Chain A
Amino acid sequence: DQQVKQNSPSLSVQEGRISILNCDYTNSMFDYFLWYKKYPAEGPTFLISISSIKDKNEDGRFTVFLNKSAKHLSLHIVPSQPGDSAVYFCAATLGNMEYGNKLVFGAGTILRVKS
């Protein structure tokens, strides 16, 4: 059962425009969500996160929106830059000691920013 889904395997955007990456989840108990960026043959690097008690978190060019009722979150990158081209993973977890703070990852979306 895939609890975190990224239904778009890839996205292509023109430099300077907005990139919107989407993520859906099924477990309503998740209370924290994270976005990671990953280059080939490297480990993921943290981008931005959001708690379930918020609906928006912004950090520079990156904004994450959370719609709890729809179990949906999105990452907005604006303006997009060629260096943003990478695989973006959405991850979720819940703050439960029994759960062990494990991250559940989506399948990732390949973002290509064209110059």
Chain B
Amino acid sequence: GAVVSQHPSRVICKSGTSVKIECRSLDFQATTMFWYRQFPKKSLMLMATSNEGSKATYEQGVEKDKFLINHASLTLSTLTVTSAHPEDSSFYICSARLPWDKTNYGYTFGSGTRLTVV
């Protein structure tokens, strides 16, 4: 259980186009999802926290107009990279909090999306 499906796993797009990444919780309702970005040999950097039915909370330095996050349902959150540029090339990972976890610190992660902007 507690599977988060992230799609696509790999995408190559042209500079200036937009790319949408989906993250679905398959067997539970995820009221809170997180979006991370990982640069090569670097840590996972939190980009934003998305709460179902409300606006996402972006971390300092993350352009909310460039990285559009939508969490319209309890099982789906999307990240759209708008007007992508080569510097947006990265590995993007979503994560969802497990609502039943008694510690309140249970998270499950998607398998990630490798974005390459050419």
**Which residues on A are within 8 Å of B, measured CB to CB?**
2, 4, 9, 32, 34, 36, 41-46, 49, 51, 89, 93, 95, 100-108
Does B103 make an interface contact (CB < 8 A)?
yes
Query: Which residue from A45, A102, A106, A107 sits with its C-beta under 8 Å from B34?
Result: A102
Tell me the nearest residue of chain A to B110, going by C-beta: A43
Kindly provide the distance from the CB of B40 to the nearest chain A CB, expressed in whole angstroms: 11
Q: Can you sample 23 A-B contacts with CB below 8 Å? A: A34-B105, A41-B9, A41-B91, A43-B110, A44-B109, A45-B109, A46-B108, A89-B44, A93-B105, A95-B104, A100-B57, A101-B32, A101-B105, A103-B34, A103-B44, A105-B43, A105-B44, A105-B45, A106-B43, A107-B41, A107-B42, A108-B41, A108-B43
Q: How far is the CA of A32 from the CA of B95 in the complex (A)?
A: 17
Kindly provide the distance from the CB of A98 to the nearest chain B CB, expressed in whole angstroms: 11
Does B97 make an interface contact (CB < 8 A)?
yes
**Neighbouring B residues of A51 by C-beta, 8 Å:** 103
Kindly provide the distance from the CB of A104 to the nearest chain B CB, expressed in whole angstroms: 8
Does B75 make an interface contact (CB < 8 A)?
no
Query: Which residue from A2, A36, A41 sits with its C-beta under 8 Å from B114?
Result: A41
